[in-house]
């Protein structure tokens, strides 16, 4: 699962505008084949995130690499996965990655 931070008082449309701009930055221009949906909302460490669902897993990978480079991006990203059969969450904040237990992530609504 791939989550992008939703700033206070932002709508999903605001997050989509940010992602469209970020995708243009990462790819040079947003590829026509690139489609995604914003899905469920989550809370993690006192902040709100929204799920970005994209059929092309390479998109999440490229966004994660971009967010981990230099000072990163202006929003945090959370990626969920497993390590040693344990469910984990990786937070990318200002270019730095930290690992947490996935139990800290709570679905909103």
Report the domain count for the chain: 1
Query: Distance between CA 94 and CA 18 in Å, rounded?
Result: 16
Q: What is the pLDDT of residue 1?
A: 93
The range of the structural domain enclosing residue 74 comes to 2-108
Q: What is the pLDDT of residue 92?
A: 97
Query: Distance between CA 91 and CA 98 in Å, rounded?
Result: 5
- Convert the pLDDT of each residue in 35-59 to its tens digit: 999 999 999 999 999 999 999 989 9
Residue 60 near residue 22 (C-beta atoms within 8 A): no
DSSP 102: G
Q: What is the pLDDT of residue 49?
A: 97
Q: Calculate mean pLDDT across residues 4-26.
A: 95
- Convert the pLDDT of each residue in 60-106 to its tens digit: 999 999 999 998 999 999 999 999 999 999 999 999 999 999 999 99
Q: What is the pLDDT of residue 94?
A: 94
Residue 76 near residue 53 (C-beta atoms within 8 A): no
15-19, 28-32, 47-51, 89-93: which has the minimum mean pLDDT?
28-32
């Amino acid at each position: 699962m791939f989550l992008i931070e939703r700033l206070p008082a932002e709508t999903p449309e605001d997050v989509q505008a940010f992602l469209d701009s970020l995708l243009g930055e990462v790819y040079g221009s947003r590829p026509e084949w690139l489609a995604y949906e914003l899905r469920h909302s989550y809370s993690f460490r006192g902040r709100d995130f929204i799920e970005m669902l994209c059929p092309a897993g390479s998109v999440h990978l490229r966004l994660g690499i971009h967010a981990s480079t230099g000072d990163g991006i202006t929003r945090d990203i959370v990626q969920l996965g497993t390590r040693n059969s344990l469910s984990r969450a990786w937070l990318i904040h200002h270019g730095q990655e930290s690992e947490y237990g996935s139990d800290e992530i709570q679905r909103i609504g």
